[in-house]
A and B are shown apart, each in its own frame.
Chain A
Amino acid sequence: MMKRTILALTFAGLMAAAPAMAQDHGTPQPPRQKWSFSGPFGKFDEAQLQRGFKVYKEVCASCHSMEMVAFRNLAEAGGPGFSEAQVAALAAEYKIKDLDDKGEAIERPGRSADYFPSPFANPKAAAAANGGTMPPDMSTLGKARTYERGFPWFLIDIVTQYQEQAPDYITALMTGYEDAPKDFALPPGGNYNKYFPGHAIAMPKPLSDGQVTYDDGSPQTVEQYAKDISAFLVWAAEPHMLARKRVGFQVMIFLLVLAGLMYFTKKKVWSAVH
């Protein structure tokens, strides 16, 4: 009895505190999007990843590096599904800094095994070109952002397996540029974004309608671009997600069967004592 009363009281106390947690200095929660890769059986949508890659290549890559992703990754299973030949051709479009046999610095065409070259020579140069703030590397961006879920959502998320905070946030960020409210003192070089913590972001609005041409008839709108680039960034940050979920399912089935067998063995063994 006592146990339950205490638990109920705790619960009530936490509920009362929840609103205090949610009101986060005027930053709205990013709207929940539908992602093909969410949940235990979720899979990346190849066409979406290919579109997202196009947005990355034509827009984001001029400022953001993606150092830990190699061209070859684009052809690996569970990714955007480009062919080896497509990847080789794509890599060849890039110029890679290297040394020749005499030790002279040269630029050669990229190969599948190369990593995406960075738009700036070093972090200082990247910051200098962007008003003092370095655009973050994109390799892990798809899981390096989150927002506070608050009680009781953070517990419910364990059961629903919600873990798409980063793509939800990035999608919201892409579409969250607005004129700054009159009483908001925007620092020089800052841009107002309602989803960015503190609202003054150094990145100018990167996307506008019709900016990237899609060949598959998908809408060429900021919303669509935002979702596609977010999905692409999730893949870039977690290229083995599909393998993880597949192996996870096999492990779960195995463990469930084993647990059943163990349970009945235990019952049998203990039947003499009980």
Chain B
Amino acid sequence: MSGHSTYQPQNPVLQWLEKRLPIGGLIHSSFVAYPTPRNLNYWWTFGGILSFMLGVQIITGIVLAMHYTPHVDLAFKSVEGIMRDVNYGWLLRYLHSNGASMFFIAVYIHIFRGMYYGSYKEPREVLWILGVIIYLLMMATGFLGYTLPWGQMSFWGATVITNFFSAFPGIGEPLVTWLWGGYAVGNPTLNRFYSLHYLLPFVIAGVVVLHVWALHVVGQNNPAGIEPKSDKDSVPFTPYATVKDGFMMVCFCLFFAWFAFYIPNYLGHADNYIPANPAVTPAHIVPEWYYLPFYAILRAIPDKLLGVLALFGSIIILAFLPWLDTSKVRSARYRPLYRQFFWVFVVVCVLLGWLGAKPAEGIYTLIAQVLTAYYFAHFIIILPLLGIFEKTKPLPNSISESVLSAKA
């Protein structure tokens, strides 16, 4: 994907193939010879981890789909059948349900990494926007998947979330009826959610290919936030990045396995082990943890339509980050003020997540409103102004210089 490959296979069969379809050269130039900045730290290993997790979700998902039945009367039982009667079905299901959470943990680290080191700035805007699209697709996929086991939280979560669309004036009601395929969340809803839940991961895989393509055109950013200038600044992807990514992937799997094998229901809701019952509303309807900050933003705003718009806005605004951040310096290492605002922003997101799990009343609503205002201010006020007023530190002349000075 980066220029012409010098790859020459030794094997005559591969030589024959290479003349007709230069796929070996493509792989070689993308994942072997591809130059990576030599100063990358471990925060750069999460892209590999994300690709791995997508693979885990697709493989476990396809096998689950062989045993799952998308029908309101059978879905809950079929998932229990997977847990009880399918060989290692409990393992498949726990890997898939916890895998979704791990996927989101990895994507949040990946996104915050990009924010800290200014990876979205010129020339990586398209790369960044493709990432935001993947994130949106992941949110949709996770939501659809959570509906499938058809427990109480599946049903009521789906009801609450789809109801947001009724906030749009005029088209709201017919839109929701259309989404549901009826006048309430029911069998048609479950069927289409299943169909889409099967489809979207492959759409994600497609966008991931574009994301990696864009990456290989512009190259990776790095902790110093300056472009590689000479050969001394980079190392080939294999073996350097491969072993580093591999090591971190195994560490991530340890973390993943701790959840999947020892506390597999920690990240879920006990209520989802109660079969869906449209006649009984659970005391607290809470979405999966990875949506909580957005859920807090939604509920912070008293007006339903404005709340929904704020919810979507809080994600869409990420796509405009390359232009909202006016600073010419990429890495927070050389931006003393931005670095502090970055951490404040992280804390605000965590606190919003905590509020998303709280009832929307009294003091909680007030705090959520303040934090929501701050969330948007970070993008619309703080970042544009910082770029103008911040006194940045001098940048190193080259990546290898910054590596050497760090060691001295």
**Which chain A residues have a beta carbon within 8 Å of chain B's beta carbons?**
2-3, 6-7, 10, 13-14, 20-21, 40, 68, 73, 136-137, 139-141, 143-146, 157-158, 161, 163, 165-166, 197, 237-240, 243-245, 247-249, 251-252, 255-256, 258-259, 262-263, 265-266, 269-270, 273-274
Contact check: which of B244, B270, B363 meets A266 at CB < 8 Å?
B244
Chain B, residues 63-89, CB within 8 Å of chain A (1/0): the string is 000000000000001001101100000
Contact check: which of A40, A237, A265 meets B243 at CB < 8 Å?
A265
Q: Let me know if B270 and A165 touch, CB within 8 A.
A: yes
Contact check: which of A68, A146, A265 meets B270 at CB < 8 Å?
A146
Q: Let me know if A269 and B240 touch, CB within 8 A.
A: yes
Query: Which residues of B have CB within 8 Å of A141?
Result: 273
Q: Let me know if A248 and B261 touch, CB within 8 A.
A: yes
Contact check: which of A6, A255, A263, A270 meets B253 at CB < 8 Å?
A255
Q: Let me know if B247 and A262 touch, CB within 8 A.
A: yes
Top 5 closest pairs, chain A to chain B, by CB: A248-B261, A144-B273, A146-B270, A262-B247, A140-B273
Residue of A nearest to B256 (CB): A255
Q: Let me know if A237 and B273 touch, CB within 8 A.
A: yes
Query: Which residues of A have CB within 8 Å of B261?
Result: 244-245, 247-249, 251-252
How distant is A71 from chain B, measured CB to nearest CB, in Å? 13
Contact check: which of A13, A243, A251, A259 meets B251 at CB < 8 Å?
A259
Q: Let me know if B254 and A256 touch, CB within 8 A.
A: yes
Chain B, residues 244-268, CB within 8 Å of chain A (1/0): the string is 1011001101100110111111100
B408 interface residue (CB < 8 Å to A): no
Q: Of B137-145, B168-176, B298-306, B343-351, which binds chain A?
A: B343-351
With contacts A140-B80, A143-B265 taken as known, whether A6 is within 8 angstroms of B347 at the C-beta atoms is yes
Once bound together, how far apart are the Cα atoms of A78 and B312, in whole Å? 48
Query: Which residues of B have CB within 8 Å of A158?
Result: 263, 266
With contacts A144-B271, A144-B273, A240-B90 taken as known, whether A269 is within 8 angstroms of B350 at the C-beta atoms is no
Query: Which residues of A have CB within 8 Å of B251?
Result: 259
B354 interface residue (CB < 8 Å to A): yes
Chain B, residues 318-359, CB within 8 Å of chain A (1/0): the string is 000000000000000000000110011001001100100010
B388 interface residue (CB < 8 Å to A): no
Query: Which residues of A have CB within 8 Å of B83?
Result: 238, 240
B274 interface residue (CB < 8 Å to A): yes
B204 interface residue (CB < 8 Å to A): no
B13 interface residue (CB < 8 Å to A): no
Once bound together, how far apart are the Cα atoms of A136 and B280, in whole Å? 12
Interface size class of B (residues with CB under 8 A): 35 or more
Query: Which residues of B have CB within 8 Å of A251?
Result: 257, 261
Q: Let me know if A255 and B250 touch, CB within 8 A.
A: yes
Query: Which residues of A have CB within 8 Å of B91?
Result: 244, 247
Query: Which residues of A have CB within 8 Å of B246?
Result: 262, 266
Q: Let me know if B247 and A2 touch, CB within 8 A.
A: no
Query: Which residues of B have CB within 8 Å of A165?
Result: 270
> How many pairs, one residue from A and one from B, have CB atoms within 8 Å of each other in the complex?
107
Once bound together, how far apart are the Cα atoms of A265 and B274, in whole Å? 48
Query: Which residues of B have CB within 8 Å of A249?
Result: 261
Contact check: which of A13, A144, A240, A262 meets B250 at CB < 8 Å?
A262
With contacts A3-B343, A237-B273, A259-B254 taken as known, whether A244 is within 8 angstroms of B264 at the C-beta atoms is yes
Once bound together, how far apart are the Cα atoms of A255 and B244, in whole Å? 16
Given contacts A21-B358, A140-B274, A266-B243, 15 further A-B contacts (CB under 8 A): A2-B339, A2-B340, A141-B273, A143-B273, A144-B273, A144-B274, A157-B266, A161-B263, A163-B265, A163-B266, A252-B258, A255-B257, A270-B240, A270-B243, A273-B38
Once bound together, how far apart are the Cα atoms of A143 and B90, in whole Å? 14
Once bound together, how far apart are the Cα atoms of A144 and B260, in whole Å? 18
B235 interface residue (CB < 8 Å to A): yes
Once bound together, how far apart are the Cα atoms of A20 and B358, in whole Å? 11
How distant is B382 from chain A, measured CB to nearest CB, in Å? 15
| Interchain Cβ contacts under 8 Å between A and B, 29 examples | A6-B343, A10-B351, A13-B351, A14-B354, A68-B80, A136-B274, A140-B80, A144-B270, A144-B274, A157-B266, A163-B266, A165-B270, A166-B270, A197-B283, A238-B83, A240-B83, A244-B91, A245-B262, A247-B261, A248-B257, A248-B261, A249-B261, A252-B254, A255-B257, A266-B246, A269-B243, A270-B243, A270-B244, A274-B407
How distant is A232 from chain B, measured CB to nearest CB, in Å? 16
Q: Let me know if A252 and B80 touch, CB within 8 A.
A: no
Q: Let me know if A255 and B254 touch, CB within 8 A.
A: yes
Residue of B nearest to A237 (CB): B273
Query: Which residues of A have CB within 8 Å of B123?
Result: none
Once bound together, how far apart are the Cα atoms of A239 and B243, in whole Å? 39
Once bound together, how far apart are the Cα atoms of A21 and B262, in whole Å? 26
Query: Which residues of B have CB within 8 Å of A247?
Result: 91, 261
Once bound together, how far apart are the Cα atoms of A174 and B90, in whole Å? 29
How distant is A164 from chain B, measured CB to nearest CB, in Å? 11
Once bound together, how far apart are the Cα atoms of A3 and B90, in whole Å? 41
B206 interface residue (CB < 8 Å to A): no
Contact check: which of B262, B274, B340, B351 meets A248 at CB < 8 Å?
B262
Once bound together, how far apart are the Cα atoms of A247 and B253, in whole Å? 14
How distant is B83 from chain A, measured CB to nearest CB, in Å? 7
With contacts A2-B340, A248-B257, A270-B244 taken as known, whether A73 is within 8 angstroms of B84 at the C-beta atoms is yes
B9 interface residue (CB < 8 Å to A): no
Once bound together, how far apart are the Cα atoms of A144 and B407, in whole Å? 54
How distant is A199 from chain B, measured CB to nearest CB, in Å? 14
Query: Which residues of B have CB within 8 Å of A139?
Result: 80
Q: Let me know if B243 and A143 touch, CB within 8 A.
A: no
Once bound together, how far apart are the Cα atoms of A140 and B151, in whole Å? 11
How distant is B386 from chain A, measured CB to nearest CB, in Å? 15
Contact check: which of A10, A20, A136, A161 meets B347 at CB < 8 Å?
A10
- Which residue of B81, B91, B94 has the most chain A CB atoms within 10 A of its CB atom? B91
B239 interface residue (CB < 8 Å to A): yes
Once bound together, how far apart are the Cα atoms of A251 and B396, in whole Å? 44
Q: Let me know if B247 and A266 touch, CB within 8 A.
A: yes
How distant is B120 from chain A, measured CB to nearest CB, in Å? 22
